């Protein structure tokens, strides 16, 4: 949809209220040249640090 609307591929994403950061992780898995920033002010829902980010690092060859 982004490409259709903007005429180019998305490279950077900011995901607000992203306790799991699933959208951020999906973008970076899809294309490792992309960057994603996940923001959430509620520390209790930020499970991505413990669960999704380590797996993302393994999937992308960083660990």
Q: Note whether residue 36 is domain-resident.
A: yes
Partners of 14 in the beta sheet?
A: 37
Q: How many domains does the chain have?
A: 1
Q: Note whether residue 63 is domain-resident.
A: no
Rg (CA), the chain: 13
Q: Note whether residue 19 is domain-resident.
A: yes
Which pLDDT band, with edges at 50, 70 and 90, does 5 fall under?
A: very high
Q: Note whether residue 37 is domain-resident.
A: yes
Indicate whether this model's pTM tops 0.85. no
Q: Note whether residue 59 is domain-resident.
A: no
The answer to whether the CB of 48 falls within 8 A of the CB of 38 is yes
The parent domain of residue 18 ranges over: 11-53
Which residues fall within 8 angstroms of residue 39, CB to CB, at 6 or more apart? 14, 15, 16, 17, 18
Q: Note whether residue 38 is domain-resident.
A: yes
23-44: pLDDT as tens digits: 888 888 888 888 988 888 887 7
């Amino acid at each position: 949809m982004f490409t259709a609307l903007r005429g180019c591929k998305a490279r950077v994403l900011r995901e607000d209220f992203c306790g799991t950061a699933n959208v951020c992780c999906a973008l970076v898995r899809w294309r490792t040249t992309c960057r994603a920033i996940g923001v959430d002010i509620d520390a209790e829902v930020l499970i991505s640090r413990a669960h999704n980010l380590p797996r993302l690092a393994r999937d992308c060859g960083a660990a």
